[in-house]
Amino acid sequence: MAQADRTERIAAPGGGADGPAPASRRGGFLGLRHWGRDARGSTTWRRGLVVAALAVLTAALIALHAEVPNSAGNLGSLLETFLPWLGLAVPVLLVPALLRRSATALIALLLPVVLWANLFGGLLSDKSGGKGDWTVVSHNVAAANTDVPGTVRTLVDSGAQIVALQELAGKQLRSYETGLAAAYPHHTVEGTVGLWSKYPIGDVTPVDLKIGWTRAFRAEVTTPQGPVAVYVAHLPSVRLKAEGGFTVNQRDVSAQALGDAIQAEPLKKVLLLGDLNGTMNDRSLAPVTSQMRSAQGAAGDGFGFSWPAAFPMARIDQIMSKGGLKPVDSRTLPRDGSDHLPVAATYRYSS
């Protein structure tokens, strides 16, 4: 009987008298020999179906984000605000796909990879190039800015000819006016937004954002290459609330009002500088984004996330243009005392 037991152990598949064969003899941890049937008899095509389903769901959200309704907590706008981050689902799902040795899951993961690359891959290359005529900066300086002198230095050191600021507070406003006066002899402030320029500013008109106070205006800046209509705007903030979801209604009404003002602009060459509290992917900003060109998308290097400054996750501070203004560079500036990063773009004036 003992002899029979010993013979049975020796003859057992994949093992020997001293136990299972080493991993190197069995094809390694993820070796090809393990991509067949598992102990339960499941093949590589039957395993990992849950992982594959999650990959397909990720791909669907990337491809059909515009179809996600805003009726329930404005989930569509919330998704579109952080849409690039869906790409992180791929490496997260890749781990269980490999551990399960699932060919089905790995093939399914190709769907979000291809769709994400098609939507955002162009942002990863450096599209800057050529010489520009002048540089503009937009910055939400934050009412609770902890280093106003540092922010002033950042703005002056940027070398920009036009600077737009949002969230200007009473005492801090005087500090900005004093600190920027030497570099920018022309400036105007309407409500909590302002414009500083090396070029003359005229024809300043508030833009009604339907919120009861001034957070946007239009000004005509006379550049050496001709007049440019410059809009400075700070759209209402959005909030993520447990009981109400992603609250964006006030922001959306203001976006429509701003879009209407820009559409009615008589000058051909137009710049928009400001904190729009939304990304270029957010459908609710379509009244603005549908008629203007993003400097970051056209001439940036990477996503150019601007908020929150400690760990930027979204590009909600925008520089956009239309008419004969060609962006040749777009970038973020170093962090200062604000919870936003300053954003900058260099333009070439074309006829």
CA dist 199 and 187 (Å) reads 9
According to the model, what pLDDT value does residue 349 have? 80
Same domain, yes or no: 198 and 149: yes
Same domain, yes or no: 160 and 76: no
The number of residues in the chain equals 351
* Segments forming the whole domain that contains residue 221: 129-349
Task: Lay out the sheet containing 134-140: strands in order across.
Answer: 186-190, 193-197, 162-166, 134-140, 343-349, 325-332
For residues 58, 60, 61, 66, the Cα torsion angle rounded to the nearest 10 degrees is: 170
Question: Collapsing DSSP states into helix, strand and coil, what is residue 271?
Answer: strand
For residue 50, tell me if it sits in a domain: yes
Same domain, yes or no: 96 and 164: no
According to the model, what pLDDT value does residue 227 have? 96
According to the model, what pLDDT value does residue 71 have? 76
Q: What is the pLDDT along the chain (351 residues), one digit of tens a residue?
A: 455 454 444 444 444 445 554 544 444 545 555 677 777 778 888 899 999 999 999 999 999 999 998 777 778 888 999 999 999 999 999 999 999 999 999 999 999 999 999 999 999 889 998 889 999 999 999 999 999 999 999 999 999 999 999 999 989 999 999 999 999 999 999 999 999 999 999 999 999 999 999 999 999 999 999 999 999 999 998 766 555 455 678 889 999 999 999 999 999 999 999 999 999 999 999 999 999 999 999 999 999 999 999 999 999 999 999 998 999 999 999 999 999 999 999 999 876
How many domains does one find in the chain? 2
- Name residue, tokens 């005529």: 133
For residue 4, tell me if it sits in a domain: no
Q: What share of the chain is helix, strand, coil (3-state, %, to 5)?
A: 35, 25, 40
Contacts of 137 (CB under 8 A, 6+ apart): 155, 158, 160, 162, 163, 164, 273, 333, 342, 343, 344
CA dist 256 and 30 (Å) reads 55
For residue 41, tell me if it sits in a domain: yes
Q: Is 322:108 a contact under the CB 8 Å cutoff?
A: no
Same domain, yes or no: 106 and 139: no
- Name residue, tokens 């410059």: 230
According to the model, what pLDDT value does residue 25 have? 46
CA dist 140 and 236 (Å) reads 13
For residue 266, tell me if it sits in a domain: yes
Sign of the torsion angle spanned by Cα atoms 166, 169, 172, 178: positive
According to the model, what pLDDT value does residue 186 have? 98
Angle at 133 (CA atoms; ends 207, 177), nearest 5 degrees: 50
Stated pTM of the model: 0.85
Same domain, yes or no: 265 and 305: yes
Same domain, yes or no: 43 and 187: no
According to the model, what pLDDT value does residue 135 have? 98
CATH number at residue 270: 3.60.10.10
According to the model, what pLDDT value does residue 238 have? 77
